[in-house]
Amino acid sequence: MKAKKLSTILFLGILSASLCLTACDNSDGESSFEESSSVPTSSSTESSSPESSSTETSSDIESSSSVEASSSEAENSSQHPESKYPEEFTGYVGETLYGADAVKQYEYGRLDFEGFTYVRWAAPFFDNTLKTPDLVNWDTYEMPKYDGILTQKDPKWFVVKPGDKLENGLVVKSAHCSFQKSTYVDGTTSINQSDSEVVFEEKNTLTLTGVLYCTPDIGGYMTEGDLYFCADPTNSLIPVIDYNHNSKDKYYLQKAFFSNAAFLTDGFYFRVGNIDTDEIDLSGIIKKGGICEVTVTLDNIRLNAGGYGGVNGAFGNIVSIEKVSR
């Protein structure tokens, strides 16, 4: 196994990719997953993670989108920069949005809105090498079990505004979103989110089970001791914003690889602090370069995609944590 061959380095870096999830019709409205035998040409493998290959700079990693453009977007990358913002268009839940209501308008087609954004619940899907030891082919950094495409039936978006209380108890403090109109060389247009952020009240807490990882001393572009938590959405309601900026009808699973483990789930991993600076003593939970399953309670929760707040991802502070023994 390649990870073992490189064990002296302690860390191979996280690679991540996305596996396109394409919405399909479902009359009963229930969510489920099905595995397809082939991948459409519009799907692609993208990479992102808190830790990337050694060729990336710090600014590359911190400013990169959690999920990069799909191949269908790349094929249509030649856009007219003079495309005008739309006067009106349909939002994610079927409502009509007006360009005149935007707090800022851009001649190249972007509209910034204040006071709302769109959220859905993370799909109930989670796998990792602690659960499935043969999940990863470490020679190729692939997950053969998931080479096919997964489709989610009838995913549901909903609008959130300041003061709204979500089903999991979180109360929205602020929300923002932006839309981008793109006009392609063949004359077709599309309007999708380009930025989104939702901030919840600071003292709201959310208790989640999942995988916690602590970065070792690798130098360069990562801070030693940073903590990353990938929540398991099969037993909790985890809010997700449109982190791929592709369209409301397409979804992605995040793949992330560590030196001795990997996980696959829907949505962002959480950045939850640093083992050296957090007030909570984590010495009995995890060490640098380690990975383990935990139950954690977070507050100061924020989801950001596309530039609001400077860094993409999900964020929270650890209030309490307990290691899960199997």
Report the pLDDT averaged over residues 289-300: 93
Classify residue 175 by its DSSP letter.
E
Beta pairing partners, 158: 119
- Classified as helix, coil or strand, 100 is helix
Report the pLDDT averaged over residues 115-121: 93
Q: How far apart are CA 13 and CA 28, in angstroms?
A: 42
Question: Which residues 6+ apart lie within 8 Å of 134 measured at CB?
Answer: none
- Classified as helix, coil or strand, 58 is helix
Q: For the segment 72-84, what is each residue's pLDDT rounded down to a tens digit?
A: 443 443 443 444 6
Q: 269 or 261: whose pLDDT is higher? A: 269
Q: pTM for the complete prediction? A: 0.71
Q: What is the pLDDT of residue 47?
A: 36
Q: What is the pLDDT of residue 310?
A: 61
Lowest mean pLDDT among 23-32, 214-223, 295-304: 23-32
Number of structural domains, the chain? 1
Radius of gyration of the chain (CA): 20
- As a whole-number percent, the residues of the chain with pLDDT over 70 amount to 64
Q: What is the pLDDT of residue 237?
A: 92
Classify residue 224 by its DSSP letter.
T
Instruction: Give the number of residues written for the chain.
Output: 326
CB 288 within 8 A of CB 244: no
Q: For the segment 235-260, what is each residue's pLDDT rounded down to a tens digit?
A: 889 998 876 655 566 666 777 777 66
Classify residue 324 by its DSSP letter.
P
Report the pLDDT averaged over residues 30-34: 37
Q: What is the pLDDT of residue 62?
A: 33
Q: How far apart are CA 14 and CA 208, in angstroms?
A: 22
Task: Identify the domain containing residue 229 by its residue range.
Answer: 2-323
Task: State the DSSP string of 119-140.
Answer: EEEPPS-EEETTT-TTS-BTTT
